Amino acid sequence: MDSLECDRMFVAVMEAESFVGASQKLGTSATQASKLVSRLENDLGVRLLNRTTRTVSPTEAGQAYYERLRPLLEELETLDLDIRNISQEPRGRLRMTAPLTFGVLELAPALNAFAIRFPDIELDVSFSDRVANLVEEGFDLAVRVGRPRDSSLMMRKLLEVRIVVVASPAYLESHPEPMAPADLSDHACIIDTNFREPNKWPFRGEGQSETMFVPVSGRIRYSNGEACLAAAEAGLGLACVPEFLAKDSMREGRVVAASGIRDKSLRRSRALSTQAPSHRKGAAARGVPGEPLFRPIKLIAAEMDAIPS
């Protein structure tokens, strides 16, 4: 077995959180996926995954290996695409959908830089928190925070979004600051109904592989992160928002992160680019074999990295 094949399968299992999901993604069987990971563990002389009948979770060594390995495989994949397409620049029309707040604040500047770099690309981007049907609505790509519910879609990790719990200084002066995630049950929480489970906030401590979900409640429920942040600024309670959304408000002192639970940081949710399984004849499909629609996502991600935070 090729060691690179074993590495790729291990990364796929980590991201799918199951051997079945990883095997479907890479076009093989769950048995073969398990064999490849076991071969890798034998070669390295260390256990990378904890396995039960229902779950797969990384060991400490497995998490460390994944974090070092994933960017190396991405670089190798990018190099492969660049060599294959050294004389072929992207061209044509690219239809995308992305979450409203993330799209406007984080993605749009990168898209503008991408459009300047590649003048033959025509961008058609819908910023909406509604989860679109890529096939029926004719989208080439979707950028979503979290794992897509449609397992038939192919996906690539774009970046990680850290979630923070914030409140106004006035609120924390008049209420005891939460010192542990369980303390949130004693607080007014501002609920973002765009979350998959709005009334359960996810926490994962440093070095922990299991996510803890804490029940929360409150009288303010908004389907928009900016509205939830504004409610927190007004002193109406604690809000659970992406760090990129709250960073200016935190810098200016309108809200502060709840320091008692800051080290037990909320789960880092993956912002994923997803592709409908059918091949589309859009901008990214010109001259790029294999997974054509992921090339522009790699280029857009590079533009995001180049923009100062």
pLDDT at 234: 97
Domain total in the chain: 3
Please give the backbone phi and psi of residue 74, each rounded to the nearest 5 degrees, phi first: -65, -40
Task: Note whether 251 and 279 are same-domain residues.
Answer: no
Q: What percent of the chain has pLDDT over 90?
A: 32
pTM (2 d.p.): 0.61
| Percentage of the chain modeled with pLDDT above 70 | 76
| Domain span at 223 | 163-267
Strand partners, 95: 124
Residue 205's pLDDT is 61
pLDDT tops 80 at residue 91: no
Answer yes or no: is 183 within a domain.
Answer: yes
Identify the pLDDT of residue 297: 62
- What's the CATH code of the domain at 208? 3.40.190.290
Mean of pLDDT over the chain = 80
List all residues 6 or more positions away from 45 whose beta carbon is below 8 Å from its beta carbon: none
Residues 146 and 278 in one domain: yes
Q: Spell out the alpha helix ranges (H) of the chain.
A: 3-16, 19-26, 30-44, 60-84, 100-102, 108-117, 134-137, 169-174, 225-233, 243-251, 294-306
Domain boundary (84, 101, 118) is at: 84
Q: Are residues 145 and 167 in the same domain?
A: no
- Give the SS3 label for residue 149: coil
Q: Which of 33, 56, 84 is the last residue of a domain?
A: 84
Query: At 163, is the pLDDT very low, low, confident or very high (cuts 50, 70, 90)?
Result: confident
Hey, what's the torsion of the CAs at 62, 67, 72, 78, to 10 degrees? Answer: 120
